[in-house]
Amino acid sequence: MVMHFSYEKPREDAINEMKNFLVNEEFNILEFAPEDGFILTDYKSFDWGEGQRLLAVSVHIHDKITITGMGKMDIPVSGIGEDEELLKIKSFDRLPYKIQSRTLFTLIEPLDSLGYKRLNHWP
């Protein structure tokens, strides 16, 4: 899932503010390249009931801010057979839209309060 935001401050300020924002949201920064306007985070766990949802974020800041969410999801799958196979975990690298919106969309309101406005590409 990809979201775009506009910003009206110097690029250097925006990249540092975005890094601090992600750290405050408990993301671990894996790559930080302020000269390229790039940030990459490690996966952060979102745990709702059964299964675990993981979300990592990459941020590119140029004429606009582009946030790309990358997710993984583990869900329990029950089976019949050997004891080891009674409960298996199946992993998906593509999250359903409902899960994407529940994880990545949580970033919109805090970013809006920092002065970044989401760009809507739909008519």
Extents of the domains making up the chain = 2-118
The reply to whether CATH 2.20.25.90 applies to domain 2-118 is no
Q: What tens-digit pLDDT sequence spans the chain (123 residues)?
A: 788 999 999 999 999 999 999 999 999 999 999 999 999 999 888 776 556 778 889 999 999 999 988 887 766 666 555 655 555 555 556 667 777 777 777 888 888 888 899 998 654
Cβ-defined contacts of 93-100 (< 8 Å, 24+): 95/53, 95/71, 99/53, 99/71, 99/73, 100/1, 100/69, 100/71
Given this model, what pLDDT does residue 62 score? Answer: 93
Given this model, what pLDDT does residue 122 score? Answer: 57
Given this model, what pLDDT does residue 108 score? Answer: 85
Measured torsion, CA atoms of residues 19, 20, 26, 29, in degrees rounded to the nearest 10: 30
End-to-end CA separation in angstroms for the chain: 19
